[in-house]
Amino acid sequence: MRHRALGVLRRVVLSFLVLIALGIGAVYARTAWILGRTHDVALPAVALNTTVTDATEARRFTILIGCLSCHGRTGGGGRVSMPGVFELGAPNLTKVLPTYSDAELVRLLRAGVRRDGRTALGMPAATFYPMSDDDLGRVIGYLRSLPPAADRGPGPVRHLSFRARIGLVIGRFRTSMAAIDPSAPRWGEQPRSTPFERGRYLASITCSECHGRTFGGDADAGSPSLAIARGYDLPQFAHLLRTGQPIGGRDLGEMSEAAREDFVNFRDDEIADIFAFLRREFGAP
């Protein structure tokens, strides 16, 4: 009797283990498919002007939109990670760009598709999607003009924890392609004659990376809705973007870093435009 009960128990435990193994296998198979499949996305027919007339201004703009935060100040590469969840290598741009045509780069930045047809991962294409042709041309021209840089960062690695893989399967951790809404307006091609319109464009190609496409905040990135800007006046807002210090002065981690390294390069008029946009967008009086 006792013997038989043990036998049943053993079978239950064994079936359970087999199920778990099958589940894990399925998650690995599914993520391999998501990341490995190729997408047939036509090359965009845009004629970019990549002539750099003002290198200082082109560098300032390229820093503001973040290419040189992830790919390193020299373009030599860097690491994008969430400790314990994923680690992704952002490759050496001075080596990768010569292998890409301008049209392939536009496709990568606006659609999230790499040259090999696979989706990029960890490249915020949804943030670059709204960029105007002029600004894309300026950034690509500037990056192509960088001298060959020594390799930095981990190289082309994609380490994903099981948690990150589950996120990919359920769509909470989105690939660069999946994060794009192709029906969203491309603000860079819309009029930019008022502070609201100019601020909307600038915020969409900078703040959206962490605060989300409609600036509602992102729980996984730990970022609040930018409605919080209603509690700021313009000098306080400018101080936050230049120094990373919010009202009250506490350290904001990634936000403070982005401010000190990148946003410190915003001009006064640009900060005023972003402020005007956010206040109106979130219904401040």
Query: Under DSSP, is residue 188 helix (H, G, I), strand (E, B) or coil?
Result: helix
Among 48, 63, 67, 177, binds ligand HEC (CB under 6 A): 67
- Judged by CB under 6 A, does residue 111 bind ligand HEC? no
Rounded Cα–Cα distance for residues 176 and 131 (Å): 16
The torsion region of residue 117 among left (phi > 0), alpha (psi -120 to 50) and beta comes to left
Rounded to a whole number of angstroms, the minimum distance from the CB of residue 79 to ligand HEC is: 8
**Single-letter amino acid code for the residue at 169:** V
Q: Does 27 contact ligand HEC by CB under 6 A?
A: no
Site string for ligand HEC, 229-248 (x = CB under 6 A): x----------xx----xx-
Given phi > 0 = left and psi -120 to 50 = alpha, else beta, which region is 40? beta
Tell me if 279 contacts ligand HEC by CB under 6 A.
no
Question: Of 30 and 231, which has the nearer Cβ to ligand HEC?
Answer: 231
CA distance 22 to 280: 51
Does the protein bind ligand HEC through residue 70 (CB under 6 A)?
yes
Distance CA 163, CA 66 (A): 26
Q: Is 224 in the site for ligand HEC (CB under 6 A)?
A: yes
Do β-strands 78-82 and 86-90 pair in parallel, antiparallel, or remain unpaired?
antiparallel
Site mask for ligand HEC (CB under 6 A), range 180-219, x = bound: -----------------------x--xx-xxx--------
The nearer residue to ligand HEC, 21 or 233, going by C-beta atoms, is 233
Residue 253, CA distances (Å) to 55, 199, 257, 259 in order: 30, 24, 6, 10
Among 255, 273, 277, 279, binds ligand HEC (CB under 6 A): 255
Q: Is residue 90 near ligand HEC by the rule CB under 6 A?
A: yes
Residue 168 interacts with ligand HEC (CB under 6 A): yes or no? no
Tokens of 98: 């010569």
